[in-house]
Structure formats: structure tokens, C-alpha cells
């Protein structure tokens, strides 16, 4: 039986969930192995699944908890340095939306690693972004050059990697096979360096066909849209998307991929790390223009802001008081106070918190933009409202 369970689900290989949670999930997988592979009609003929409720997340409190105060003792970079790996001949908008959104939410520095063709175009959209034209597609590389070019790409990205608090892989990446192979190495490198990683767009196409790249990585978040989710479910669970038991299936999917956090985008956004399912259904916009998902992936800077806030508490309080046990106890109490002492395990996972905050802020900004522009609402309009959206929840002063 153990052979049919993903390597990353064994308790000794997973750091995210407690042993008890893993035991439960392993039990679920064992019991339900094959359930997902049955045809729709078989499923309808009596197979029961656990009804998994999705609690509406308290997104405002989450945002308030995560967002650090603007403090004069901080220096550039402390509020976040992120990188987007994406941008090719066809797509230049997606990486731009992701990277500029991170800046608008409060990150200090936002980098893009893209192909040479895309770089000049992206630079022309904004002087705020740091753009590295390092990726290559098959058409520009001879077969005999591939090994050396791919090593060069990894070294160009690798020398920056340690400096980033979070990387977003996939917006506008395209699906060129050589490019995909190079990005595989980047994803592995990020994992080795313990850098939080958000996988979106074509990054999801890559990992769906190579689940081991993220399996068991508690610092990974997948943000599939309807098509990307369908491909992921088919590949990981070997079945079709089950609308009826959607929450249960999302939880199972996360567990199957070793507890990675998944944000399933749609009319409501559903988030799970295999532990619980959270829902964000704040009113957004009825416009479905392209690029809104890219804003969301860029906003994952919020995940990293939480890490920064922990670091900040540590360094600030250690500076004045070396009694770090008291410091951490008071920080923990503060954390529990904010959440009313009722948080579940999943809500202490920074990746889940980042998903909730990112989703709620995007939907709020989309609602403001739609109020203003109606049918003409575009992604760039939504980006313009990110500041107002955050300001209403977390005033800057």
C-alpha cells in the first residue's frame, strides 16, 4: 500500500503538517486510493466522501496581521525583494502585472527574469522594475549549445536567488521545451535554498508534468485557474474535477502533492494546504479580463512580509532586550490575540495567510476598478486600485 502513496507524504519527509495530520491524510489516501479514478457514474452510485466545509476566511484581520507598519528605522529591501520568472516573445504583460503589483502592495524591489525578446518591452512599461534578459528559448539556441546555455541561465538566476524573499514562477513564461528545462533547474535551486515559491500560469504547466518538483515543499504555493486546476487534478488524482465535493477534492489534491498550498481561483477562491479549506468570496468584479491572476501571484509578497514581520520583531526586540523567550512569548500571544485564539493549524501557515490576504485584496481592488470603469475595466485599472484597497484595511499612518 505504501508504494502507492507519494514519497513526500511519508511522515519522515514532510515538515508542514503534524504527525497526527499526516496520519489522518495517509489514512484518507489509503481509504480513497482509486476513488478518484472511478468514473463519474460509479462515484454517483453510492461512494461517500467526507463533506469538507470551507470556512470564509477573516481576510481583513489576516491582512492587518501581516502588513508591517511603515517604520523609519527600516531600510530598502526589508519590506521585501521578489522576483518573477516569466516573460517571453508572446507574453510581456503577465510578468509585468505580477512584478508591479508586488511593488504597489509594499515590496521594496521587484525583479523579472525573462527572455531577451521580452526584456526591452517590459522595461519600457516601467522604470521601477529590474529586468534581467537571461532566459533563452529553443529557437535561439543550437543543440550543441544547450548544456552550456542552460548552465549559464541557472548561474545568472542563481547568483540573485538567495537575496529574494519569494519568487513567482510562470506568469507569461510560455511553454518552450528548452526554457521549461531551464526553469526546472531554477525551481530545484529555489527549493534547495528554501525560498518561498509561487507557481502560476505556465509554471503550473511545468509542474503538472513534474509533480516531484514541488511535492512536499511547504514553501510552495500553486495558484491554478479553472484550466490549470483541471490539468492538475487529472494528473495528480487521475480523475475529473468534482464540483460536488470540491473542497474535499482540493484538500485531497494538496495532500497528494505533499501538503503544498493550493489557491484554486474562481467565483470564490478556495485555499488549502491539506489541513483545512478556506474560502475568500469578497465581492470582486464581473469582468474577466486577462491578467487578474497575474496580479494575484505578484501579491504573494504578502507571504514574505509575514516572514519579514517575524524577523523584524526578533531583531527590534533583541536590540532592546535580550530576553528573547519573553519576546517570542509576547509575539505569540499577540498573534493569538489578533486571531481571537481560534486559529486552526492551517492559519498559522504563512503560505495560507498570504493566499487569503492576496485574494481578498485583489477582489477588493477589482470591485473599486469596476465601480469606476464598468465594462471597460482592465487589469491595469485594477492595479491602480491596489493602494486604495490596502489603505482602507491598513492605513499607512
Ligand X SMILES: Nc1ncnc2c1ncn2[C@@H]1O[C@H](COP(=O)(O)OP(=O)(O)OP(=O)(O)O)[C@@H](O)[C@H]1O
How many residues touch ligand X (CB under 6 A)? Answer: 17
For cell 482602507, name the residue: 392
Rg, Å, the chain Cα set: 21
Decide if 201 contacts 308 (C-beta within 8 A): no
For residue 27, what are the β-bridge partners? none
Q: Does 23 show up as a binding residue in the annotation?
A: no
Select the binding partner of residue 267 from ligand NPW, ligand X, Mg ion, none (C-beta < 5 to 8 A, by kind): ligand X
Q: Does 312 show up as a binding residue in the annotation?
A: no
- Which residues are CB-contacts of 112 (< 8 A; sequence separation ≥ 6)? 83, 84, 86, 87, 95, 96, 99, 119, 122, 129, 130, 131, 132
> In this complex, which beta carbon is closest to ligand X, that of residue 133 or of residue 284?
284
CA–CA dist 186, 48 (Å, integer): 41
Q: Does 293 show up as a binding residue in the annotation?
A: yes
Using CB under 5 A, list all residues that contact Mg ion: 201, 293
Q: How far is the CB of 129 from ligand NPW (least distance, A)?
A: 15
CA–CA dist 344, 66 (Å, integer): 17
Q: Does 258 show up as a binding residue in the annotation?
A: no
Q: Which of residues 202-261 bind ligand X (CB under 6 A)?
A: 225
Select the binding partner of residue 269 from ligand NPW, Mg ion, ligand X, none (C-beta < 5 to 8 A, by kind): ligand X
How many residues touch ligand NPW (CB under 6 A)? Answer: 18
> In this complex, which beta carbon is closest to ligand NPW, that of residue 93 or of residue 354?
93
Q: How far is the CB of 177 from ligand X (least distance, A)?
A: 21
Per DSSP, the residues of 91-142 read -SHHHHHHHHHHHHHT-SEEEEEEEHHHHHHHHHH-SSSEEEEEE--GGGS-
> In this complex, which beta carbon is closest to ligand X, that of residue 58 or of residue 294?
294
Given candidates 16, 94, 112, 114, which one binds ligand NPW under the rule CB under 6 A? 94
> In this complex, which beta carbon is closest to ligand X, that of residue 2 or of residue 267?
267
Site mask for ligand NPW (CB under 6 A), range 206-225, x = bound: -------------------x
Cell of 368: 473599486
Cell of 249: 477534492
CA dihedral 139, 143, 147, 153 (to 10 degrees): -10
> In this complex, which beta carbon is closest to Mg ion, that of residue 106 or of residue 291?
291
Given candidates 133, 174, 284, 358, which one binds ligand NPW under the rule CB under 6 A? 174
Span interacting with ligand NPW, options 3-11, 19-27, 122-130, 170-178, rule CB under 6 A: 170-178
> In this complex, which beta carbon is closest to ligand X, that of residue 97 or of residue 312?
97
Long-range contacts of 388-395 (CB under 8 A, 24+ apart): 389/361, 389/364, 389/365, 390/63, 390/67, 390/105, 390/106, 390/361, 392/364, 393/60, 393/63, 393/64, 393/67, 393/361, 393/364, 394/63, 394/64, 394/67
Which one-letter DSSP state was computed for residue 71? -
Residue 196 in the binding site for ligand X (CB under 6 A): no
Residue 359 in the binding site for ligand X (CB under 6 A): yes
Site of interaction with ligand NPW (CB under 6 A):
91-94, 171-175, 201-202, 225, 227-228, 290-291, 293-294
> Residues within the annotated binding site?
172, 225-231, 265-269, 284-294
Amino acid at each position: 500500500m505504501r508504494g502507492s502513496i507519494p514519497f513526500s507524504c511519508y511522515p519522515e519527509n514532510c515538515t508542514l503538517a503534524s504527525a497526527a495530520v499526516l496520519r489522518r491524510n495517509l489514512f484518507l489516501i489509503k481509504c480513497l486510493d482509486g476513488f478518484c479514478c472511478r468514473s463519474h457514474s460509479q462515484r454517483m452510485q453510492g461512494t461517500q466522501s467526507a463533506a469538507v466545509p470551507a470556512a470564509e476566511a477573516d481576510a481583513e484581520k489576516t491582512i492587518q496581521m501581516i502588513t508591517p507598519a511603515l517604520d523609519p528605522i527600516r531600510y530598502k529591501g526589508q519590506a521585501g525583494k521578489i522576483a518573477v520568472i516569466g516573460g517571453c516573445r508572446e507574453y510581456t504583460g503577465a510578468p509585468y502585472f505580477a512584478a508591479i503589483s508586488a511593488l504597489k502592495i509594499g515590496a521594496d524591489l521587484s525583479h523579472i527574469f525573462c527572455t531577451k525578446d521580452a526584456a526591452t518591452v517590459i522595461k519600457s512599461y516601467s522604470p521601477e522594475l529590474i529586468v534581467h534578459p537571461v532566459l533563452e528559448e529553443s529557437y535561439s539556441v543550437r543543440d550543441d549549445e544547450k548544456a552550456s546555455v542552460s548552465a549559464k541561465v541557472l548561474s545568472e538566476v542563481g547568483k540573485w536567488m538567495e537575496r529574494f524573499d519569494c519568487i513567482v514562477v510562470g506568469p507569461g513564461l510560455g511553454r518552450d521545451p528548452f526554457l521549461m528545462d531551464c526553469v526546472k533547474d531554477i525551481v530545484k535551486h529555489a527549493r534547495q535554498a528554501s525560498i518561498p515559491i509561487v507557481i502560476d500560469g505556465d509554471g503550473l504547466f511545468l509542474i503538472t508534468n513534474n509533480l516531484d518538483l514541488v511535492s512536499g515543499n511547504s514553501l510552495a504555493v500553486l495558484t491554478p485557474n479553472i484550466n490549470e486546476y483541471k490539468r492538475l487534478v487529472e494528473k495528480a488524482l487521475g480523475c475529473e474535477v468534482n464540483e460536488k465535493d470540491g473542497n474535499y477534492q482540493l484538500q485531497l489534491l494538496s495532500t497528494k502533492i505533499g501538503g503544498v498550498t493550493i489557491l484554486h481561483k474562481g467565483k470564490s477562491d478556495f485555499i488549502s494546504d491539506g489541513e483545512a479549506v478556506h474560502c475568500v468570496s469578497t465581492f470582486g468584479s464581473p469582468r474577466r479580463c486577462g491578467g487578474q491572476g497575474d496580479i494575484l501571484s505578484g501579491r504573494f509578497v504578502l507571504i514574505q512580509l509575514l516572514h519579514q514581520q517575524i524577523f523584524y520583531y526578533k531583531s527590534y526586540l533583541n536590540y532592546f532586550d535580550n530576553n528573547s523567550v519573553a519576546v517570542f512569548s509576547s509575539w505569540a500571544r499577540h498573534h493569538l490575540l489578533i486571531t481571537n485564539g481560534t486559529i486552526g493549524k492551517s492559519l498559522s501557515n504563512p503560505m495560507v495567510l498570504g493566499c487569503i490576504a492576496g485574494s481578498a485584496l485583489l477582489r477588493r481592488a477589482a470591485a473599486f476598478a469596476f465601480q469606476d470603469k464598468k465594462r471597460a475595466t482592465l487589469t491595469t485599472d485594477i492595479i491602480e486600485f491596489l493602494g486604495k484597497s490596502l489603505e482602507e484595511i491598513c492605513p499607512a499612518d
